[in-house]
Amino acid sequence: MLLVLSVEHRAHLGCLPRAGGAAVGELGRLALEQLRRGAAPRACESAARKLNISVDIIQHGVEGLVYLLTESSKLMISEADFQDSINVLGFSDELNKSLLQLYLDNRKEIRSILGELAPRLPSYHSLEWRLDVQLASRSLRQQIKPAVTMKLHLNENEDQIAQVLQTDPATLLHLIQQLEQALGEMKMNHCRRIVRNMK
């Protein structure tokens, strides 16, 4: 699977040849530090002084590398696919080898950082439900008004929370159909490929 780079990201990575071969290692270090600790403008300014390059080139190079490394690590693209992805940038063989080595050395750490940044969503524990039917009221002697009440128990950060939901049967049937359709689409080859690359 090839990584498709936008025009903006290509422009940011286009700063790398101007920075020079020695600077790529420094930019890679800054990109990894940005992933670990967040943006560090002072570190970029320091690197710009040390390498005698403008701060803008450093910042754009770091942003481009962060995108390249995170997207490649998310998709866990192979060594060959990574090379094919960066070949379209027209860099020298030496620069391509430096980028490949940077990716291979750090992809596991980047994936673990991205895993920590992912939001922790509640997970399903159990469901209780009840069907209520209103047969009459003071104003209407004969009516049938069904309602489904559900109590959804979720696990969230080792705690249990409950959500109470109420709907009519028609809406519930529509929701079930949509979920079944989504599950059916998950069995398609295209979706399986995406899920496999997300792991």
Q: What percent of the chain has pLDDT over 70?
A: 92
Is the domain of 78 the same as that of 99?
Answer: yes
Is the domain of 77 the same as that of 129?
Answer: no
Both tokens assigned to 137: 């009221």
pLDDT surpassing 60 at residue 199: no
Look at residues 63, 97, 117 and tell me which one is the last residue of a structural domain: 117
Query: What is the sign, positive or negative, of the torsion defined by CA atoms of 26, 29, 35, 40?
Result: negative
Is the domain of 67 the same as that of 151?
Answer: no
Is the domain of 104 the same as that of 127?
Answer: no
Is the domain of 134 the same as that of 77?
Answer: no
In the prediction, which pLDDT does 166 show? 94
pLDDT in tens, 66-113: 888 888 888 888 888 888 888 888 888 888 888 888 888 988 888 888
pLDDT surpassing 60 at residue 41: yes
pLDDT in tens, 136-151: 877 777 778 899 999 9
Is the domain of 50 the same as that of 144?
Answer: no
Residue 156 backbone phi and psi in degrees, to 5 = -140, 115
Is the domain of 17 the same as that of 81?
Answer: yes
